[in-house]
Amino acid sequence: MAERMNQKLKILYLMKILLEKTDETHSITVQEMITALASYGITAERKSLYSDLESLRTYGLDVIGVQENRNYYYHVGNRQFELAELKLLVDSVQSARFITARKSAELIHKIEGLASQYEASKLNRQVYVTERVKTMNESIYYNVDSIHTAISENAQIRFQYFNWNVDKEMLLRRNGGYYEISPWALTWNDENYYLVGYDSSETKIKHFRVDKMLHIEMLPEKREGREVFQEFDMAVYERKMFGMFDGREENVKLLCDNAMAGIVIDRFGKNVPFLKKDAEHFTMNVKVAVSRQFFSWVMGLGSGIQIIGPVWVVDEMKEEIRRLSKQYLQENQHESGITGSDKKI
pLDDT for 53: 94
Cα 270 from chain centre: 24
The answer to whether residue 344 sits within a structural domain is no
The answer to whether residue 25 sits within a structural domain is yes
Confidence of residue 283 (pLDDT cuts 50, 70, 90): very high
My answer on whether 159 and 177 are in the same domain is yes
Other CB atoms within a 10 A radius of the CB of residue 93 amount to 18
The answer to whether residue 337 sits within a structural domain is no
CA distance readout (Å), 122 to 29, 83, 90, 211, 272? 24, 9, 11, 30, 43
Domain hosting residue 157, numbered range? 140-232
Confidence of residue 3 (pLDDT cuts 50, 70, 90): low
How many whole angstroms separate alpha carbon 39 and alpha carbon 137? 42
Confidence of residue 344 (pLDDT cuts 50, 70, 90): very low
pLDDT for 291: 87
Per residue in 76-102, pLDDT tens?
A: 999 988 888 888 888 778 777 667 778
Residues whose CB is less than 8 angstroms from the CB of residue 232 and which lie 6 or more positions away in sequence, other chains included: 184, 185, 205
My answer on whether 263 and 319 are in the same domain is yes
Looking at residues 66-83, what average pLDDT do you find?
90
CATH number of the domain where residue 285 is located: 3.30.70
Q: What percent of the chain has pLDDT over 70?
A: 85
Per residue in 101-139, pLDDT tens?
A: 788 888 888 999 999 988 888 776 544 444 455 555 667
The answer to whether residue 133 sits within a structural domain is no
Among 187, 203, 232, the domain-final residue is 232
Per residue in 135-182, pLDDT tens?
A: 556 677 788 888 989 999 999 999 999 987 767 688 899 999 999 999
The one-letter code for the residue type at 110 is K
Q: How large is the greatest C-alpha to C-alpha distance in the chain, in angstroms?
A: 90
Among 203, 232, 261, the domain-final residue is 232
Beta-strand relationship, 179-189 and 155-164 = antiparallel
My answer on whether 43 and 68 are in the same domain is yes
pLDDT for 143: 86
pLDDT for 169: 80
My answer on whether 151 and 227 are in the same domain is yes
Beta-strand relationship, 204-209 and 305-309 = unpaired
Q: Report which DSSP code applies to 286.
A: E
Please count the structural domains in the chain.
4
My answer on whether 166 and 194 are in the same domain is yes
The answer to whether residue 135 sits within a structural domain is no
The answer to whether residue 13 sits within a structural domain is yes
My answer on whether 197 and 261 are in the same domain is no
